Amino acid sequence: MTVRPHWPGHLVELPTGPLHVREAGGGDREPAVMVHGLGGAATNWTDLMGLLEDRLHSLAPDLPGFGWSPPPPHGDYSLRSHVASLVALVESTGRGPVHLLGNSLGGTVALVAAASRPDLVRTLTLVSPALPVLRPRATNVHLPALAVPFAGQRLARRLGRFPVEQRVRATIALCWADPSRVPPQRVTEAIEEADRRARLDHDSDAMLLSLRSLMTAYLRPRAWPLWTLAERVTAPTLLVYGLKDRLVDPRTASRAAKAMPRSRLVVVPDSGHVTQMEHPALVAREVRRLLTQAGATSRPG
C-alpha cells in the first residue's frame, strides 16, 4: 500500500498567536478545519484529508505548542485558549461556516467552538471526543496523575527516560486497536517527530498543561459544563467512537448522541482512539454522508 506523504504546512499569524497549518484540497471546495488530540498533531489527519480532497479544502492546525506550532503567548495552554485559537483560525479564512472535525481533546475544542460560535460551523464531526467521565480505566488511569501539579512533572520526566522508539510504540499500542495496521513509514515518521519534539523546551508543558486544563473542566462542571454545551450544538453532527478505545470510554457514546439532538452515532467495533487514522476510508465515507445530508437540508424546498 502506498503511504501518502504529509501535507505541506505554513505558519499563519493570528490575533491569538501564530499557528502552523497544513492544507489539502483546492480553495474552490467546501472549507473544513480538522483539530488533533492531546499529544497529537495536524499529521493525524493526513489520510482523511487526502480521501476528502475532492470535496473539501481542509486546514489542519497544530494546536499551540504541538506539532510545528510555537508555544502560545504567556504559556496559556488552557482549553479556553485552544478554543480561541481555533475560532481565530476559522475567522481568518473568511469562508465560514466550515465543516469542523476534532479528535479527542480536539473534539472537545471543536465542540466548545461549535456551541459558542454556531455561525462558524456548518457541520461537526467528533472522533472520540474527550468528554467528562469520572471513572478512570486501567488504560488511562495515568492521565489524572499526569495532570497533578509537580507530581505530573515528575511522572513525565520518568516516562521521558524511556527511549523515543519505545515511547512511540507504546503510544500506538494505546491509541490503536490493532497496531499492526500502522504502516512502517508512519511509525518511522512518528519516531522522528517524537525525537524532534523531545528537544523542545515547551514539549512537556504543551502536553501536561493542556491535560491539566481538560481535567479541570472534568472536575468543575459548573465552570465548564461540557455536557450542557454539547446540548447547545445546532450543527448536524457525526459522532465516531471506537469500541476498543482505551482512552475515551466508548460507553459515553450513547450519552453524547442523546445530548446532541442533530447527531448520528457510528461505533466502529475494531477501532481504538484515533479512528480517522486507523480506519480513514470508513470515516471519509461517513463524513461524505454527513456533508450530503447537510447540503440537502440547507437547500430550499
Query: Between 99 and 134, where is the model more confident?
Result: 99
Beta strands in 178-271, from DSSP E residues, in sequence order: 237-242, 263-268
Task: State how far the Cα of 78 lies from the Cα of 16, in Å rounded to an integer.
Answer: 13
CB proximity list for 241: less than 8 A, separation 6 or greater: 127, 128, 248, 250, 252, 253, 265, 266, 267, 268, 275
pLDDT above 90 for 71 = yes
Q: Would you state the pLDDT for residue 162?
A: 61
Query: Between 215 and 238, where is the model more confident?
Result: 238
Q: Output the average pLDDT for the chain.
A: 89
Q: How far is CA 278 from CA 72, 177, 270, 281, 288, in A?
A: 30, 8, 9, 9, 18
Query: Between 2 and 230, where is the model more confident?
Result: 230
Amino acid at 79: L
pLDDT above 70 for 59 = yes
Task: State how far the Cα of 215 lies from the Cα of 221, in Å rounded to an integer.
Answer: 11
Q: Would you state the pLDDT for residue 223?
A: 84
Task: State how far the Cα of 213 lies from the Cα of 186, in Å rounded to an integer.
Answer: 29
Burial of residue 47 (CB within 10 Å: 0-12, 13-18, 19+) is buried
Pairing label, strands 19-24, 9-12: antiparallel
Kindly state the average pLDDT of the residues 149-167: 57
The three cell numbers of residue 264 are 448520528
Kindly state the average pLDDT of the residues 139-153: 39
Task: Domain 9-298: give its CATH code.
Answer: 3.40.50.1820
pLDDT above 60 for 217 = yes
Task: State how far the Cα of 240 lies from the Cα of 266, in Å rounded to an integer.
Answer: 5
Q: Kindly tell me the sign of the dihedral angle through the C-alpha atoms of 181, 168, 187, 31.
A: positive
Task: State how far the Cα of 192 lies from the Cα of 170, in Å rounded to an integer.
Answer: 15
Structural domain boundaries of the chain?
9-298
Q: Would you state the pLDDT for residue 288?
A: 98
Q: Are 156 and 169 in contact (CB under 8 A)?
A: no
Task: State how far the Cα of 100 lies from the Cα of 121, in Å rounded to an integer.
Answer: 6
| pLDDT tier for residue 161 given thresholds of 50, 70 and 90 | low
Pairing label, strands 9-12, 263-268: unpaired
Kindly state the average pLDDT of the residues 221-244: 95
